[in-house]
Structure 1
Amino acid sequence: MKALFIGGTGTISMAISELLIEKGWELYLINRGNRNDDKRLKGANFITVDINDEKAVAYKLSGMHFDVACDFIGFVPSQLERDYRLLKGKVNQFMYISSASAYQKPCGNYVISEKTPLANPYWEYSKNKIACEDYLMKLYREEQFPITIVRPSHTYDERSVPLGVHGKNGSYQVVKRIKEGKPVIIHGDGTSLWTITHNSDFAKGFIGLMGNIHAIGEAVQIMSDESVTWNQIYSCIASALGVELKPFYVSSEYLAAHSSYDFTGSLIGDKSNSVVFDCSKLKSLVPDFVATKRADVGLRETVEYVMSHQECQREDPEFDRWCDEIIKKLR
């Protein structure tokens, strides 16, 4: 089997690429080559080109055909329009990574399935994902373009700790605050339910959809069945660091109104909502799918990796100052 990934080395896609290589797929990656020396990608074929240089990409793909192609880095419809021009007639299945954040907010029902409406007025990212899905479904209906839409929730890997409130440089500054015994901002009261999925589990579900004739024309969500509270997530991180957690609770509305960060989108349009995902559709398509990385285990492994790899420790002094200012003001 032959696959083409646009991207292929990110948080979600790296685990998929690694597992595909193990399974003997002939894998091609279109990217700029920033992580192509990763040992986990040994055996992959690299097409080093800027995907936005459509003419150059078309030249490199000339005469090629793939069982599956996937765009991991498509965020707006114009990027998928480009993909369609490049891949029409060259793929048996085109897969697109959308987002569970596209589901209706506020939630009409805390149990989320593929039947849940797509309607998120709070986050531009989510609105763009919905527009991308609409474009692809239109292609499927009118042009028989063989699409499969995949909706992940909060997927993480060993390089970044999954959190709710963090700055532009990622989550390390929050981990550092916990380690140093500083108070840490948690949105709401920390009791809402959330789902985090390790990328190794996501990869198993995703690969089960690749080349799957029953997945054509379908949207499928992939995530763990496990639900945890934000208090549990932050407590697991503190436990992995061997320190006491000092939570400071702030409403999502206040955070959205008093910062330059897009907490309207990422919190009110996503993480402040209490959700439980129904993955029965995925399991009907991929009967052997089971997410086996428990949240507390995955969080501990990620914290240990981040704390032992300096390249993962991207400090964010601006966010640190903002936290101190918010906490001082509210106290």
Structure 2
Amino acid sequence: MASVLFIGGTGQISLPCVERAVAAGHAVSVFNRGRREAALPAGVTGIVGDMADAEAYRKLGDRRFDVVCQFMVFTPEQMAQDIATFSGKTGQYVFISSASVYEKPARHYVITERTPTVNPYWPYSQAKIACESMLKAATNLDWTIVRPSHTVRTGLPTMVGEGDVIPRRMLAGKPVIVAGDGTTPWTLTRSEDFAVPFVNLFGKSAALGEDFHITSDRAYTWDAIYGAIARGVGTSARIVHVPTDTLVRYKPDWIGPLIGDKSWAALFDNAKVKRVAGDFTCSEDLDEVLAEPIRLLKLRLSQPSADTSELDGLIDRIASEQSALGR
């Protein structure tokens, strides 16, 4: 049994990992600001604090946890703080990066950990790459890098972060937009499936100084994903396909999530993590993969929606102008 600290611990990916770590018998503590909707498992020690409080955060390292799981570092400045806080004070520092760091487009259609980490399109990915580089250069800190791909629990898998706008449009009979022709394969992984190999990396000497992605072995087309969302809320999807280059001309900040991520095929070889964490399986039934996001979506749909008129209006405009081509 190890003493494990989760920084974050209640998010889309981290909460199932906390639950799995508790079930595996680890002594688990969670550090966050104490603002949470989901309850932590019994026996978890909550530590209320803020990473922005540098002096208080520095004391966290003095508790000397066996494993530190960092879900909340997104910038080089935050990584520098963690290196200073935990160097020489933990047996394993696990940094949650992102599979979006891999080159776009990948030179081979199956992504492995040998795929270069180069993403010139998305500042989010560039910051994660910079954090990885800093960690790899650190001394006196045994690290493991984990790169989730599109992992689902609370949020819906949409192309540019439209979230609940998409099912609300579907229910209203309005068109929704998919970049490209809708046939690009995209890997989705349930958070609860991700958690199993993630926790199995704890305390493994073979995991130190190594990077791993953890994903399902199955991909789905974007048309199939949007069709499953529609099916989950009892309607159908009116999909309008729009070239990616066209979409980013309408809204330039879509370059990151589209050209920097979702417009490319995402197929992963998980052999490396399976060698270290043991074999694992993920749900491959799309309706099952989306069951929990759809359940939580239905709870949100019963509540008044936030103002989405600007995005709705843009989607209406794009769908109308694309559909008018060739008439």
TM-based fold match above 0.5: yes
Equivalent residue for 2:287?
Answer: 296
How far the C-alpha of 1:314 sits from its partner, in A, is: 4.9
Cα gap change, 1:311 to 1:264, in 2 (>3 Å): same
Question: Does structure 2 conserve the Cα–Cα contact (< 8 Å) formed by 1:30 and 1:46?
Answer: yes
Question: Does structure 2 conserve the Cα–Cα contact (< 8 Å) formed by 1:165 and 1:186?
Answer: no
Structure 2: tracts of 5 or more residues without a match: none
How far the C-alpha of 1:63 sits from its partner, in A, is: 4.2
Equivalent residue for 1:120?
Answer: 119
Matches of residues 144-183 of structure 1 in structure 2 within 5 Å?
Answer: 144-157=140-153, 159-167=154-162, 171-183=163-175
Partner Cα separation in structure 1 for residue 156 and residue 303 of structure 2: 14
Equivalent residue for 1:135?
Answer: 134
Moved more, 96-105 or 295-304: 295-304
Residues 99-133 of structure 1, C-alpha deviation per residue, up to 9 Å, x if partnerless? 11110112211100000011110111111111111
Structure 1: tracts of 5 or more residues without a match: none
Equivalent residue for 1:2?
Answer: 3
Equivalent residue for 2:28?
Answer: 27
Cα gap change, 1:40 to 1:112, in 2 (>3 Å): same
Equivalent residue for 2:176?
Answer: 184
Equivalent residue for 1:58?
Answer: 58
Matched-pair identity in %: 39
Question: Does structure 2 conserve the Cα–Cα contact (< 8 Å) formed by 1:95 and 1:147?
Answer: yes
Moved more, 221-230 or 40-49: 40-49
Partner Cα separation in structure 1 for residue 187 and residue 296 of structure 2: 21
Partner Cα separation in structure 2 for residue 287 and residue 281 of structure 1: 10
Partner Cα separation in structure 1 for residue 204 and residue 179 of structure 2: 40
Cα gap change, 1:299 to 1:256, in 2 (>3 Å): same
Partner Cα separation in structure 2 for residue 63 and residue 154 of structure 1: 34
Describe the SS at the equivalent of 1:276: coil
Cα gap change, 1:62 to 1:113, in 2 (>3 Å): closer
Q: Does 1:216 align with 2:215?
A: no
Describe the SS at the equivalent of 2:177: strand
How far the C-alpha of 1:44 sits from its partner, in A, is: 1.3
Equivalent residue for 1:38?
Answer: 38
Partner Cα separation in structure 2 for residue 222 and residue 62 of structure 1: 27
Partner Cα separation in structure 1 for residue 294 and residue 38 of structure 2: 21
Cα gap change, 1:311 to 1:82, in 2 (>3 Å): farther
Matches of residues 59-98 of structure 1 in structure 2 within 5 Å?
Answer: 59=59, 61=60, 63-98=62-97
Equivalent residue for 2:270?
Answer: 279
Cα gap change, 1:209 to 1:311, in 2 (>3 Å): farther
How far the C-alpha of 1:182 sits from its partner, in A, is: 0.8
Equivalent residue for 2:19?
Answer: 18
Describe the SS at the equivalent of 1:20: helix
Cα gap change, 1:302 to 1:98, in 2 (>3 Å): same
Cα gap change, 1:314 to 1:221, in 2 (>3 Å): farther
Equivalent residue for 1:320?
Answer: 312
Question: Does structure 2 conserve the Cα–Cα contact (< 8 Å) formed by 1:236 and 1:300?
Answer: no
Describe the SS at the equivalent of 2:240: strand
TM-score (norm 2): 0.93
Cα gap change, 1:110 to 1:20, in 2 (>3 Å): same
Partner Cα separation in structure 2 for residue 198 and residue 317 of structure 1: 31
Q: Does 1:202 align with 2:194?
A: yes
Question: Does structure 2 conserve the Cα–Cα contact (< 8 Å) formed by 1:226 and 1:294?
Answer: no
Report the RMSD for the aligned CA atoms in angstroms.
1.7
How far the C-alpha of 1:305 sits from its partner, in A, is: 2.7
Describe the SS at the equivalent of 2:50: coil
The count of residues paired between Structure 1 and Structure 2 equals 321
1:214 is matched by which residue type in structure 2? A
Cα gap change, 1:311 to 1:145, in 2 (>3 Å): farther
